[in-house]
Chain A
Amino acid sequence: MTALLEVEGLTKRFGGVAAVDDCSFSVEAGTITALIGPNGSGKTTAFNMITGYLKQDSGTVRFDGGAVERARPAQLYRRGLSRTFQQARIFPELTAIENLVVAAGFSWRDLFGRRVSKRDEERARRMLDEFRLSHLADLPAGDLSYGQRKLLEFAAVLMSSPKLVLLDEPTAGVNPVMIDAMERHIRERNAAGVTFLIVEHDMQLVMRLCDPVIVLDQGAPIAFGPPAAIQTDERVLEAYLGG
């Protein structure tokens, strides 16, 4: 297996605090990798650097064989690296379909073409069907419930056929039925060849779904391995429970 994403020596300081401190890990193609750790351990900061939202102080990120340095989020997205946000950032004034269409990626020529072409609409509707959101297709996304927004954001970033999807707490604040739905979608997409890197606080979900698991503490990995090994790792227990 080859590493789809390689993070090496990644560091980011805010003031005197190193939010991410000499952090190195890699994500193998085809896996559902979890990135866990106590609050403030630097998970989201690492996400932001990997996806081009935040510039690192030092360290390198390689995605799909190419460097990520100086890359912008939009370029990375077109290269197949997409992400969702903790708070489910969708566009409330656009309809559910438009939310998908605008995320599908389009050429310069299409930019001057129809807002939602027949082909766009068919593709978006298929995706909404898969996520069982069809009945909401023409509603402004702002009318959706929080859980539906999370699903919609997830569906949207899949529209561009990404290689790697970073999910930032996909099930936080979502009802149990929706958590099951989210888990199922992640599994299905993974089976179809999409690699996932997931930040998640629901440990039961992580242990069920993810392999391997990376544990961050104070900005650097302290453990890496299959979920069973992580559960019994002393450093991990100490980080979570406090030594």
Chain B
Amino acid sequence: MKPVGRAGLLRAGIFFLLLALIPVLGAPGWLLTTLIFTVMYAGLASSWNLVGGYAGYPSLGHVAFFGIGAYAIGLVFTNSVGSGFEPFLLLPVIGVAVGLLSIPVGWIAMRTRADVFAIVTITLLFITQTLAFNLKDLTGGAQGKSVAPPPFPVETFDWPFYYAMVVMLAIAMAISLYFRRSKIGLSLATVRADEDKAHGIGVRVTAVKLLAFAVSCGLVAMIGGVWAYYVGFIYPQFAVDPLITIGMVLMAFLGGRGTLWGPVLGAFILVPAQEYFAQTFGASELYLLAYAAVFIVIMLFLPRGILPSVSERLARRRLAARGPGESPGTDAARPVDPAVRMEAAR
């Protein structure tokens, strides 16, 4: 694996600089609102990718931890949020606590794999939603639970939430990058490809799986906390909404599971598309069909997700341009530019 060079850092720098400048440059309210949810989903999909992409464990229950993070903010800040920034300061505590809480859950759920794991984690979603409906003293049940309103000025009301989401995305991507560049990512890659074989070469399979799961769940809970503070009112069916789980999974699939930028790209395509279709088709649920159609069309042409499929095609074209070479893997020694292959693998 080639370390992320200057070009990669530059790309990330420009991306986050642009995100940071958007409110300052006077983006209209509707754009900022859309961006808050886009960046939120980019963060969720990047967090999901740690376990769903790198470890190959497609969790469909992540929104349970999103909801737990949301209710944590709701429970602590029912009457007052002080200066308005205290809820953000609580987020790291929520992240660590939920991360630790998720370890026993992951330990049980990760005894299953692939489709069984997906189903086990769906039950996690419904258990959490049922608890949210029924633990009325804590959550207010179906009546919902309100978070004390933040005392931010009207003109820049959205800014703190927007920047909080951007910071969460940056953290998720930084951890994602760190995983890739450390032996954690190397170990996770063996778990994803062939877990039994990974055991057989001494990889600490359970440890890295649980680490990825816990970090992923902790991040998702923190983002849930920001969300709850922003929307101000927490209902079980919205805080633990299957559509949120499906959203983060679809976006990671669309952009490319197991890549750094794929989940971000997926979110920046699907969330605006969803907003646009919701506007166009009005209150009907038709927009969900259009949303699904976008996903299906892209997956039809780029089945491994946008980034892996495109980079693979580019690499193949470059190999072909190099002249009629033998296919790789023949026994003869033969020079191949490693950089080309690296990009194919990325």
Q: Do these two chains really belong together in a complex?
A: yes
Contact residues of A with B, CB < 8 Å?
Answer: 51, 53, 72-74, 77-78, 82-83, 85, 89, 91-95, 98, 101-103, 105-106, 108, 110-116, 135, 137-140, 143-145, 147-148, 156-157, 160, 177-178
Going nearest first, the 7 A-B pairs with the smallest beta carbon separation are A138-B338, A77-B202, A143-B328, A103-B201, A73-B199, A89-B197, A135-B333
Which residue of chain A lies nearest to B331 when distances are taken between CB atoms in the complex? Answer: A145
Given A82-B201, A115-B1, A143-B328: A89 touches B208 (CB 8 Å cut-off)? no
**Extra A-B contacts (15), CB below 8 Å, given A73-B196, A95-B341:** A72-B199, A85-B197, A91-B194, A94-B186, A94-B189, A94-B190, A105-B201, A106-B183, A111-B208, A138-B338, A139-B338, A140-B345, A147-B331, A157-B201, A160-B202
**Can you list 24 residue pairs at the A/B interface with Cβ under 8 Å?**
A51-B200, A74-B199, A74-B200, A74-B203, A77-B201, A83-B200, A91-B197, A92-B193, A93-B189, A94-B190, A98-B186, A102-B183, A102-B189, A111-B204, A111-B207, A112-B182, A112-B184, A115-B180, A115-B182, A116-B1, A137-B338, A138-B336, A138-B341, A139-B338
Asked whether, in the complex, the Cβ of B341 is within 8 Å of the Cβ of A139, the reply is yes
Q: How far is the CA of A74 from the CA of B205 in the complex (A)?
A: 9
Q: How far is the CA of A82 from the CA of B203 in the complex (A)?
A: 12
| Number of A-B residue pairs having CB atoms within 8 Å of each other in the complex | 116
Question: Which residues of the partner chain A approach B1 to less than 8 Å between Cβ atoms?
Answer: 95, 98, 115-116
Residue B185 interfacial (CB < 8 Å): yes
Q: How far is the CA of A139 from the CA of B340 in the complex (A)?
A: 9
Asked whether, in the complex, the Cβ of B202 is within 8 Å of the Cβ of A78, the reply is yes
Question: Which residues of the partner chain B approach A178 to less than 8 Å between Cβ atoms?
Answer: 331
Asked whether, in the complex, the Cβ of B329 is within 8 Å of the Cβ of A144, the reply is yes
Given A73-B200, A106-B183: A91 touches B193 (CB 8 Å cut-off)? yes
* Minimal beta-carbon separation of B336 from chain A (angstroms): 7
Which residue of chain A lies nearest to B196 when distances are taken between CB atoms in the complex? Answer: A53
Q: How far is the CA of A111 from the CA of B188 in the complex (A)?
A: 11
Q: Is the interface of B mostly helix, strand, loop or mixed?
A: helix
Given A94-B186, A95-B1, A110-B183: A105 touches B202 (CB 8 Å cut-off)? yes
For B187, B200, B335, B338, which residue has the most chain A Cβ atoms within 10 angstroms? B200
* Minimal beta-carbon separation of A77 from chain B (angstroms): 4
Q: How far is the CA of A116 from the CA of B202 in the complex (A)?
A: 17
Residue B344 interfacial (CB < 8 Å): yes
Which residue of chain A lies nearest to B332 when distances are taken between CB atoms in the complex? Answer: A135
Residue B181 interfacial (CB < 8 Å): yes
Given A95-B345, A148-B329: A114 touches B202 (CB 8 Å cut-off)? no
* Minimal beta-carbon separation of B267 from chain A (angstroms): 24
Question: Which residues of the partner chain A approach B187 to less than 8 Å between Cβ atoms?
Answer: 102, 111
Residue B334 interfacial (CB < 8 Å): yes
Asked whether, in the complex, the Cβ of B201 is within 8 Å of the Cβ of A114, the reply is no
Q: How far is the CA of A145 from the CA of B208 in the complex (A)?
A: 30
Asked whether, in the complex, the Cβ of A102 is within 8 Å of the Cβ of B342, the reply is no
Residue B83 interfacial (CB < 8 Å): no
Residues of B209-240 contacting chain A, CB below 8 A = none
Residues of B291-346 contacting chain A, CB below 8 A = 328-331, 333-336, 338, 341-342, 344-345
Question: Which residues of the partner chain B approach A91 to less than 8 Å between Cβ atoms?
Answer: 189-190, 193-194, 197
Q: How far is the CA of A115 from the CA of B199 in the complex (A)?
A: 18
For A74, A83, A148, which residue has the most chain B Cβ atoms within 10 angstroms? A74
Q: How far is the CA of A61 from the CA of B194 in the complex (A)?
A: 26
Q: How far is the CA of A92 from the CA of B328 in the complex (A)?
A: 13
B185 partner, pick from A108, A115, A138, beta carbons under 8 A:
A115
